[in-house]
Chain A
């Protein structure tokens, strides 16, 4: 059952089309469902984010707000100097997590300014502030740094 040229070409186009369609479908679905929006604490309040949605928040760790308990639960407040959120987290905090420094937390917004975080990110080195945080704070005029080294 040798195929004609036309059949060969059609098979090629059909299989390429099928793979591309599957890939496009996966990408579109994942982009609508699996992305996380970044907010500052003020955004969360202003935009009325509904409880239960997955969020990424950034700001400064409020000085004196870090409370740790014996079983590695941590709570701290993240502020953009206007509003602040309470973050609950269980686990190890990054090496460069400091009060008064920039932080990004990702997790589920619980409503009433509480976030149950599963990921907390600080900076990679002492010169660097997470970009989202730097931008958000610059907008508020709180932090002007950013010139690394």
Chain B
């Protein structure tokens, strides 16, 4: 029953979303406050209905209702509760429902927090959000109904794809979607501004927290997906330049550019038209990512079933919103009031450089991702664009950008003093160069790129530290005053420093992969095998039965010199039900590095064929991403302080905004 109610709620949600699209926009254009005021209520109602539908599906999963086709295919009555809940988004239909739920959640949050916004802007923003929700709700209702009942109710479900049965992956999709879909708010704000023909610093102030929020979640989602691929797929790599990964990287790159250009717009009322364009492009890349992953034009673990109707439908949505957004931009942007120009050597100038590099690297990734599809359509030849392409395009652009980051971060607004900044950064540069030299000396004969990459990471971290120190410390100040000043710094300054330092930490982790060691061998019992600084030897190989699987386990003892450092085990698992084999990698963390074992086969004579990696500093890759997200959160906390203006200020702000119109 609740399943039918869920389906019904979804159809109702389509109706209210349609209302949310048409009435407020009409109200905004015709300046009818009553119609414009409909925006908030319809956003709440739409959210309530989609949430109801979502809960109905989740309850069907929890209660193992095998009359629902979606539950049969992706769940099993013996699954732990967590995987019943995450089973909802382990498949095409359910994950699209999650996508829409997050979309309408963002609309409801905008409506909730939009009290201080000019009524007409709020109405048109929510109207655009409603339009996106309409499109995707229609998509679900027409092509991907998760509430489909079966006439013959099977006794048991087919279970979840075993590689998806993992806590990391259970939360990866919601995180990623919060990021992807969060950028829809920036898109809606951009379209709203274009409809009104008014953009100013106030607009940027409203849109920035949403962009930041989406960016934080996208950063976490990408990091989590990367770590999952690393430990679950058993290949030992953490990034494959797979189209699906690129689909999440492109909005991240463009979104990072947007985050920085919004700052310029907020602080200096410049780069306005560019920021609007970036808002449209960022969400366009999110939509493109959804299309690539969901339409089946590329195949991977993420593309569930390839029904051509779905691909065409999403392509239609893509065309309407990207095409519509860009056409509106082309039509209205010339009429927008341009922002002021500024001196090239200034914080604004540096942020323009940041935007150039980020946007071009997003384009480089886009070209590499779409080129195979385009070429196949044009002349039928099949190609693969892999790591060599991306390493040659996106990486150099990114390295150039990162080398400039500490300069940009230290330049003053309006007119920066490059020589002064250079002097301030001298210590940071010294630290970076010394660390490169020391690393070269220690790892003599090793790969050249690794110490340079490490130096780049150190440069970023030291640059961030310099920025904070130079803002709190003056010669002659007592330590107490310095600490007070440090606490007195705006949170956004700390946020920036943390995020940039986090990037530096990730860069160090990535650079250190060049020092990784791989040992591939067939070993007998107690036969030692050297893996970097460690020696492993096979302790035992045995069979084991677990819940829902049976496995061949190889257990190794780890020694560093003569000191025992514990046990590592890896197994070849066969999941009952689907009879699908997986490799369970064994991972032990030592310091920031990890020892990684991936068993290939346990031979009949008891010998084990295995692959070991020693990956020094590898955890820094994800640790750095966490710190980046933390930096974003600290900045957001600052925003909240400023957004939570007193009611009086809010009204004043709104009045000022209206007056400018």
In the complex, A104 Cα to B361 Cα: how many Å? 29
The listed residue (A23, A35, A70, A149) touching B73 by CB distance below 8 A is A149
Whether the pair A34, B580 counts as a contact (CB closer than 8 A) is no
Stretch at the interface among B259-267, B379-387, B633-641: B379-387
Interface centre among A11, A27, A31, A130, by most B CB within 10 Å? A27
Note all chain B residues with C-beta closer than 8 A to A35: 371-372, 383-385, 389
Question: What is the distance, in angstroms, from B523's C-beta to the closest C-beta of chain A?
Answer: 11
The listed residue (B367, B384, B520) touching A27 by CB distance below 8 A is B367
Q: A124 and B163 in contact (CB under 8 A), knowing A92-B598, A146-B306?
A: yes
B594 within 8 A of A: no
Question: What is the distance, in angstroms, from A100's C-beta to the closest C-beta of chain B?
Answer: 15
In the complex, A72 Cα to B352 Cα: how many Å? 52
In the complex formed, the residue of A with least CB distance to B599 is A92
A82 within 8 A of B: no
Whether the pair B344, A12 counts as a contact (CB closer than 8 A) is yes
Q: A126 and B578 in contact (CB under 8 A), knowing A8-B342, A37-B381, A72-B522?
A: yes
Whether the pair A128, B299 counts as a contact (CB closer than 8 A) is yes
A142 within 8 A of B: no
Question: A105-138: contact bitstring with B at CB < 8 Å (1 yes, 0 no)?
Answer: 0100000000000000000111010111001000
B8 within 8 A of A: no
In the complex, A26 Cα to B399 Cα: how many Å? 14
In the complex formed, the residue of B with least CB distance to A135 is B382
In the complex formed, the residue of A with least CB distance to B387 is A34
The listed residue (B298, B301, B305, B581) touching A124 by CB distance below 8 A is B301
Q: A37 and B301 in contact (CB under 8 A), knowing A3-B343, A23-B364, A148-B306?
A: no
In the complex, A126 Cα to B383 Cα: how many Å? 24
Interface residues of B in 207-230 (CB under 8 A from A): none
B300 within 8 A of A: yes
B439 within 8 A of A: no
In the complex, A104 Cα to B173 Cα: how many Å? 28
Whether the pair B598, A12 counts as a contact (CB closer than 8 A) is no
Question: What is the distance, in angstroms, from A95's C-beta to the closest C-beta of chain B?
Answer: 5
In the complex, A132 Cα to B373 Cα: how many Å? 12
B388 within 8 A of A: yes
The listed residue (A34, A70, A106) touching B385 by CB distance below 8 A is A34
Note all chain A residues with C-beta closer than 8 A to B361: 23
Whether the pair B301, A125 counts as a contact (CB closer than 8 A) is yes
Interface residues of B in 385-434 (CB under 8 A from A): 385-386, 388-389, 392-393, 396-397
Interface residues of B in 292-333 (CB under 8 A from A): 298-301, 304-306
B611 within 8 A of A: yes
Interface centre among B73, B384, B579, by most A CB within 10 Å? B384
Whether the pair A92, B600 counts as a contact (CB closer than 8 A) is yes
Whether the pair B305, A149 counts as a contact (CB closer than 8 A) is yes
Note all chain B residues with C-beta closer than 8 A to A11: 344
Whether the pair B600, A23 counts as a contact (CB closer than 8 A) is no
In the complex formed, the residue of A with least CB distance to B390 is A30
B643 within 8 A of A: no
A5 within 8 A of B: yes
Whether the pair A29, B392 counts as a contact (CB closer than 8 A) is yes
In the complex, A3 Cα to B416 Cα: how many Å? 13
Whether the pair A20, B360 counts as a contact (CB closer than 8 A) is yes
B513 within 8 A of A: no
A77 within 8 A of B: no
With an 8 Å Cβ cutoff, the count of chain B residues facing the other chain is 53
Question: What is the distance, in angstroms, from B344's C-beta to the closest C-beta of chain A?
Answer: 4
Note all chain B residues with C-beta closer than 8 A to A93: 600
In the complex, A29 Cα to B389 Cα: how many Å? 9
Question: What is the distance, in angstroms, from B444's C-beta to the closest C-beta of chain A?
Answer: 28
Question: What is the distance, in angstroms, from A119's C-beta to the closest C-beta of chain B?
Answer: 9
A46 within 8 A of B: no
Note all chain A residues with C-beta closer than 8 A to B356: 15-16, 19-20
B353 within 8 A of A: yes
Whether the pair A31, B163 counts as a contact (CB closer than 8 A) is no
B357 within 8 A of A: yes
Note all chain B residues with C-beta closer than 8 A to A72: 520-522, 600, 609
Question: What is the distance, in angstroms, from B269's C-beta to the closest C-beta of chain A?
Answer: 16
In the complex, A91 Cα to B579 Cα: how many Å? 24
B336 within 8 A of A: no
Question: What is the distance, in angstroms, from A121's C-beta to the closest C-beta of chain B?
Answer: 10
In the complex, A94 Cα to B27 Cα: how many Å? 58
Question: What is the distance, in angstroms, from A116's C-beta to the closest C-beta of chain B?
Answer: 16
In the complex, A38 Cα to B372 Cα: how many Å? 10
Whether the pair A26, B396 counts as a contact (CB closer than 8 A) is yes
Whether the pair A148, B341 counts as a contact (CB closer than 8 A) is no
B514 within 8 A of A: no
In the complex, A79 Cα to B609 Cα: how many Å? 27
The listed residue (A34, A71, A131) touching B299 by CB distance below 8 A is A131
Question: What is the distance, in angstroms, from A47's C-beta to the closest C-beta of chain B?
Answer: 10
In the complex, A12 Cα to B579 Cα: how many Å? 60
In the complex, A34 Cα to B139 Cα: how many Å? 38
The listed residue (A19, A34, A71, A124) touching B389 by CB distance below 8 A is A34
Question: What is the distance, in angstroms, from B396's C-beta to the closest C-beta of chain A?
Answer: 6
In the complex, A5 Cα to B343 Cα: how many Å? 9
In the complex formed, the residue of A with least CB distance to B397 is A23
The listed residue (A8, A20, A22) touching B341 by CB distance below 8 A is A8
Whether the pair B583, A30 counts as a contact (CB closer than 8 A) is no
Note all chain B residues with C-beta closer than 8 A to A9: 341
Question: What is the distance, in angstroms, from B512's C-beta to the closest C-beta of chain A?
Answer: 22
The listed residue (A23, A71, A148) touching B522 by CB distance below 8 A is A71
Note all chain B residues with C-beta closer than 8 A to A70: 522
In the complex formed, the residue of A with least CB distance to B306 is A148
In the complex, A20 Cα to B355 Cα: how many Å? 12
Whether the pair A26, B397 counts as a contact (CB closer than 8 A) is yes
Rank and list the top 5 A-B pairs by shortest CB-CB distance, nearest first. Answer: A38-B382, A23-B360, A34-B388, A124-B301, A131-B299
- Extra 4 A-B pairs, beta carbons < 8 Å, given A23-B364, A124-B301, A146-B306: A26-B392, A31-B371, A31-B385, A92-B611
Interface set of A (CB-CB < 8 Å, partner B):
2-3, 5, 8-9, 11-12, 15-16, 19-20, 22-23, 26-27, 29-31, 34-38, 56, 70-72, 90-93, 95-96, 106, 124-126, 128, 130-132, 135, 146-149
Question: 25 interchain pairs (CB within 8 A)?
Answer: A8-B344, A9-B341, A19-B360, A20-B356, A22-B360, A23-B397, A26-B364, A27-B393, A35-B384, A35-B389, A37-B381, A37-B383, A38-B383, A56-B382, A56-B383, A72-B520, A95-B581, A106-B384, A106-B386, A125-B301, A126-B579, A130-B299, A131-B298, A132-B382, A149-B73
